[in-house]
């Protein structure tokens, strides 16, 4: 149990520390968005427009929106903060792949939450939110979203070695990669999920996408540290 807790908590804490300032910057921008939504009609109209665009384009919006925000917004924040060390072909390739991974995850998330809406409900009652959160955090997150993220990011870190695609069949993958990823996901999304459900429906999508960009920074940092340590081992 002690080893499991160490794998769950310590890597998450290290990832938070490694990207703390840009992570907090994106989170603060999400808070500013919420405040601005209630203060300025123009922001409300913009949120409504985003919702309409999502309704018109469906899963394409999810793929492109999450890909662009998760791949580029963290790097833009790093650039502003003076933390972006270089922009070259390697950086471009890494950003493109992160965008691809999070675009796919955005589509999966959209489909999954559509399923929850149909089967659990769309109201903001405490019982409904608890059911959705339990299915998400205790089921989909540790069994689908985190393993898929680590698996895809790890394949690139392994220089596209096809043997890396077999890692989910090993216990080491689940203990050394998935458990720390679940620690990050739980610590971040458990409280935020309730915040998102409590917001006006038009605001939920843009707020959630900003939060996803912050989370991608955190998770990619964690995955990079884990996969670098694996290469050393």
Q: What angle do helix axes 20-39 and 2-18 make, rounded to 10 degrees?
A: 70
Cβ–Cβ under 8 Å, residues 210 and 33: yes
Distances (CA, A) of 86 to 83, 104, 147, 187: 9, 26, 29, 30
The C-alpha atoms of residue 221 and residue 45 are separated, in whole angstroms, by 35
Q: Enter the pTM of the model.
A: 0.92
Tens of pLDDT, residue by residue over 7-64, are 777 888 888 899 999 999 999 999 999 999 999 999 999 999 999 999 999 999 999 9
The C-alpha atoms of residue 110 and residue 104 are separated, in whole angstroms, by 10
Measured over the CA atoms of residue 21, residue 23, residue 26 and residue 30, the dihedral's sign is: negative
DSSP 35-98: HHHHH-HHHHHHHHHHHHHHHHHTHHHHHHHHHHHHHHHHHHHHHHTT-----SHHHHHHHHHH
Cβ–Cβ under 8 Å, residues 5 and 186: no
- Give the pLDDT of residue 3: 67
Residues of the chain with pLDDT under 70: 1-5, 230-233
- Give the pLDDT of residue 152: 96
The C-alpha atoms of residue 32 and residue 200 are separated, in whole angstroms, by 15
- Give the pLDDT of residue 232: 46
- Give the pLDDT of residue 43: 95
State which H helix or E strand residue 12 sits in: helix 2-18
């Amino acid at each position: 149990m002690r080893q499991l807790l160490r794998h769950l908590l310590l890597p998450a804490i290290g990832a938070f520390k490694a990207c703390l300032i840009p992570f907090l910057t994106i989170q603060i921008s999400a808070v500013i968005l919420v405040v601005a939504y209630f203060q300025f009609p123009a922001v409300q109209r913009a949120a409504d427009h985003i919702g309409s665009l999502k309704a018109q384009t469906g899963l394409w919006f999810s793929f492109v929106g999450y890909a662009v925000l998760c791949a580029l917004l963290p790097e833009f924040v790093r650039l502003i903060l003076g933390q972006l060390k270089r922009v070259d072909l390697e950086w471009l390739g890494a950003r493109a792949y992160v965008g691809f991974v999070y675009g796919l995850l955005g589509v999966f998330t959209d489909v999954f939450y559509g399923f929850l809406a149909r089967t659990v409900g769309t109201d903001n009652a405490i019982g409904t939110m608890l059911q959705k959160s339990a299915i998400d955090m205790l089921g989909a997150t540790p069994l689908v979203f985190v393993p898929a993220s680590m698996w895809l990011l790890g394949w690139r870190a392994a220089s596209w070695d096809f043997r890396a695609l077999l890692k989910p069949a090993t216990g080491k993958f689940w203990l050394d990669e998935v458990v720390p990823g679940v620690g990050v996901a739980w610590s971040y999304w458990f409280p935020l999920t309730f915040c998102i459900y409590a917001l006006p429906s038009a605001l939920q999508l843009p707020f959630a996408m900003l939060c996803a960009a912050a989370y991608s920074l955190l998770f990619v940092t964690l995955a990079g540290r884990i996969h670098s340590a694996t290469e050393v081992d």
